[in-house]
């Protein structure tokens, strides 16, 4: 039976522990993503208050991610992650108790999820730096692919579980389930023993000149690598220009021209299925130049907007969005893999924190601009323009020699199927 598992899960006990906790907590997070708006509505909140609570959870992530990157490069990352899991466990337990007891108020949820978002800002850069310390170099690509697969699968399984929990028991119980998943993740992390301790991870906080000096060191790592800073430009354009077609304009178009939410659900399900396929490809196929393959995938992913606005039947849009789902999963996974393979271990969390800050911080800008742009220029015209901007930027990255020539390290042997 174990032969059915990917080699990285068979051969890497430390990653296997990390993966088990990560899988559960990711599904729990997706449950919360669906349950939180209904939690606000269940206590009498309106649409504006739903937005207020969600903003309370997301703004701290943007504000504190760079701080999280510095801290994660100074302490043992799995201990920092365990602490953030315990904080989020407490947050979810309190929120669930307030909702189930009928005493929750909107401000309670806003405060609690501001704490949640702050803890998440420390967890995300830490896990990017931790994964390479739990596997041998030849298993890193498969490990990164499995992490992405968990997130892709969670996008499908989490909302389905959340829908059942909310319908049967209410949003408070859905949050309680998420609390349990954080307990499982914290338990897995408590037994973790990273394979090769980071030189700066000696168990104690490492003396440093000051916070801002370390932050500048992280930025210097970004600036000194052309493939990193140009890649961050590509990520920024994708989040600001292309992704709003999925989150804002796609649902609007489906409502106007394709019969509403049921049609859009077909498109999103197809995209989710494609992303799972993309993750499986990364797990099974070794790439000598991961960044080059990933950048080609970004070019395909940037076609999402024009596909949505193409006027094709919904089945055609769904089929093409499945292809872009493959591309999106491959791009982000291979981008993260390239960072893990080539950024020094002592700086990886800080470098990844710039990545998280740009993608998370700039997406709301694109979301805010998409609607007014569609009103001014037309819905289909705006969707076309999104890809007309996004695709050339992605193609432009392929003109950067550092992007084309970056190779996987010699010790990155093919992972066994």
Assess if residue 207 is contained within a domain. no
My answer on whether 230 and 330 are in the same domain is yes
Assess if residue 211 is contained within a domain. no
CATH of the domain at 54: 1.20.1250.20
Q: Please choose, from the candidates 302, 8, 293, 261, the residue with its C-alpha nearest in 3D space to the C-alpha of residue 141.
A: 8
Q: Is the pLDDT of residue 157 over 70?
A: yes
Instruction: Report the C-alpha gap between 411 and 188 in whole angstroms.
Output: 28
CA dihedral 20, 23, 27, 28 (to 10 degrees): 50
The answer to whether the CB of 4 falls within 8 A of the CB of 21 is no
Q: How confident is the model at residue 207 (pLDDT cuts 50, 70, 90)?
A: very low
My answer on whether 189 and 220 are in the same domain is no
**Tokens matching residue 218:** 């992280």
Instruction: Report the C-alpha gap between 323 and 325 in whole angstroms.
Output: 5
CA atoms within 13 A on the CB side of 408: 22
- Residues 189-200: what's their mean pLDDT? 70
My answer on whether 9 and 46 are in the same domain is yes
- Residues 399-406: what's their mean pLDDT? 96
My answer on whether 120 and 187 are in the same domain is yes
Considering its fold, how many domains does the chain have in total? Answer: 2
My answer on whether 259 and 155 are in the same domain is no
Assess if residue 417 is contained within a domain. no
My answer on whether 147 and 266 are in the same domain is no
**What phi and psi values does residue 333 have, to the nearest 5 degrees?**
-70, -45
Assess if residue 352 is contained within a domain. yes
pLDDT score of 150? 86
End of a domain among 165, 195, 225?
A: 195
My answer on whether 231 and 303 are in the same domain is yes
> What is the DSSP code string of 274-305?
HHHHHHHHHHH---SSHHHHHHHHHHHHTTHH
Sign of the Cα pseudo-torsion (120, 122, 123, 124, in order)? positive
Domain extent, residue 293, equals 216-408
Sign of the Cα pseudo-torsion (35, 38, 39, 45, in order)? positive
Assess if residue 201 is contained within a domain. no
Assess if residue 209 is contained within a domain. no
The answer to whether the CB of 162 falls within 8 A of the CB of 174 is yes
More confident residue, 307 or 197: 307
Q: How confident is the model at residue 27 (pLDDT cuts 50, 70, 90)?
A: confident
End of a domain among 136, 162, 195?
A: 195
The answer to whether the CB of 237 falls within 8 A of the CB of 393 is yes
Single pTM value for the model: 0.85
**pLDDT tens digits for range 51-97:** 788 888 888 888 899 999 999 988 889 999 999 999 999 999 999 99
End of a domain among 161, 195, 229?
A: 195
**pLDDT tens digits for range 261-274:** 778 888 888 898 89
My answer on whether 191 and 234 are in the same domain is no
Q: Please choose, from the candidates 253, 409, 416, 245, the residue with its C-alpha nearest in 3D space to the C-alpha of residue 339.
A: 409
My answer on whether 311 and 401 are in the same domain is yes
- Cα angle: 147, vertex 202, 129; to 5 degrees: 20
My answer on whether 12 and 141 are in the same domain is yes
My answer on whether 183 and 277 are in the same domain is no
pLDDT score of 361? 76
Assess if residue 29 is contained within a domain. yes
My answer on whether 145 and 228 are in the same domain is no
Assess if residue 41 is contained within a domain. yes
Q: How confident is the model at residue 417 (pLDDT cuts 50, 70, 90)?
A: very low
**pLDDT tens digits for range 214-263:** 888 989 999 999 999 999 999 999 999 998 888 788 888 888 888 877 78
């Amino acid at each position: 039976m174990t032969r059915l598992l990917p080699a990285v899960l068979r051969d890497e006990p430390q990653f296997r522990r990390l993966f088990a906790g990560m899988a559960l907590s990711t599904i729990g997070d997706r449950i919360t993503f669906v349950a939180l708006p209904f939690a606000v509505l269940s206590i009498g909140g309106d649409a504006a208050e739903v937005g207020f609570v969600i903003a309370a959870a997301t703004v701290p992530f943007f504000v504190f991610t760079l701080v999280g990157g510095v801290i994660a490069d100074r302490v043992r990352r799995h201990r920092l992650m365990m602490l953030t899991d315990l904080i989020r466990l407490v947050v979810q337990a309190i929120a669930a108790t307030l909702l189930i007891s009928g005493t929750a108020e909107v401000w309670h949820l806003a405060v609690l999820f501001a704490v949640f978002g702050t803890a998440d800002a420390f967890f995300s850069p830490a896990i990017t730096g931790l994964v390479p310390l739990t596997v041998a170099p030849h298993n890193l690509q498969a490990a990164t692919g499995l992490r992405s697969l968990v997130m892709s699968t969670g996008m499908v399984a989490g909302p389905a579980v959340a829908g059942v929990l909310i319908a049967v028991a209410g949003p408070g119980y859905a949050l309680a389930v998420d609390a349990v998943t954080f307990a499982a993740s914290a338990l897995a992390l408590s037994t973790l023993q990273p394979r090769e301790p980071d030189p700066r991870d000696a168990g104690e906080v490492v003396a440093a000149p000051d916070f801002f000096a370390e932050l500048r060191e992280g930025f210097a790592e970004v600036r000194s690598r052309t493939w990193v800073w140009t890649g961050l430009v590509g990520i920024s354009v994708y989040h600001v220009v292309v992704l709003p077609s999925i989150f804002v304009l796609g649902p609007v178009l489906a409502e106007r021209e394709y019969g509403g939410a049921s049609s859009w659900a077909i498109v999103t399900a197809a995209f989710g299925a494609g992303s799972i396929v993309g993750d499986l490809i990364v797990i099974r196929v070794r790439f000598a130049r991961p960044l080059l393959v990933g950048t080609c995938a970004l070019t395909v992913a940037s076609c999402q907007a024009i596909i949505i606005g193409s006027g094709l039947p919904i089945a055609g849009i769904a089929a093409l969005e499945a292809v872009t789902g493959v591309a999106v999963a491959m791009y982000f996974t291979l981008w993260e893999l390239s960072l893990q393979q080539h950024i020094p271990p002592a700086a990886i969390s800080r470098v990844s924190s710039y990545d998280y800050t740009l993608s998370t911080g700039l997406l709301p800008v694109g979301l805010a601009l998409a609607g007014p742009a569609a009103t001014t220029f037309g819905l289909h015209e705006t969707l076309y323009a999104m890809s007309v901007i996004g695709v050339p930027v992605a193609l432009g990255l392929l003109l950067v020699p550092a992007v084309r020539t970056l190779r996987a390290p010699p010790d990155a042997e093919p992972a066994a199927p």
